């Protein structure tokens, strides 16, 4: 079952930072494919949301960029900056707390 994409818009920064923490550097298309692969196609990260978020994180100093020529075209890579490495831990903790509170609020019960 596909998940409503609106649900994960608020955690997009956290998802991107976490993926970059696990991979040294990634380019835009690679990030969308990684999300698709991990969630088995349940979550589709649209480019219209991805690039503005990447650019925002870059302007906030959480990401660093580099460019490489691949197959005769320029490819822009994103990697965590020093500040980004610290921020990813804060964002993950924030997400963990949020999920915990959501569980309490929505009163999830085990399905078994």
- Which residue, among 91, 29, 23, has the nearest Cα to 57 in the 3D structure? 91
- State the Cα–Cα distance between residues 66 and 92, nearest whole angstrom: 25
Taking the least distance from each CB to another protein, the nearer of 60 and 103 is 60
CB of 8 to another protein, least distance (A): 17
* Cα-Cα-Cα-Cα dihedral sign, residues 102, 104, 105, 109: positive
Q: 70 or 99: whose CB is closer to another protein?
A: 70
Closest separation between CB of residue 31 and another protein, Å? 10
Site string for another protein, 17-56 (x = CB under 8 A): ----------xxx---x------------xxx--xx--xx
Question: Which residues lie closer than 8 Å to 66 by C-beta, 6 or more apart?
Answer: 25, 76, 77, 79
What is d(CA 31, CA 19) in angstroms, rounded to the nearest whole number?
A: 8
User: What binding mask, one character per residue, do residues 56-85 give for another protein by CB under 8 A, x or -?
Assistant: x-xx-x---xxx--xx-xxxx---------
Residues near another protein, by CB under 8 A: 27-29, 33, 46-48, 51-52, 55-56, 58-59, 61, 65-67, 70-71, 73-76
């Amino acid at each position: 079952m596909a998940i409503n994409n609106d649900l994960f818009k608020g955690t997009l920064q956290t998802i991107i930072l976490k993926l970059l923490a696990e991979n040294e550097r990634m380019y835009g298309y690679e990030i969308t494919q990684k999300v698709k692969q991990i969630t088995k196609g349940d979550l589709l990260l649209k480019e219209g949301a991805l690039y503005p978020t990447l650019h925002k994180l870059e302007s906030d100093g959480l990401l660093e960029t580099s460019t490489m020529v691949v197959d005769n075209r320029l490819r822009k890579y994103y990697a965590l900056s020093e500040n980004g490495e610290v921020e990813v831990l804060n964002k993950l903790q924030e997400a963990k707390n949020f999920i915990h509170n959501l569980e309490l609020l929505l009163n999830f019960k085990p399905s078994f």
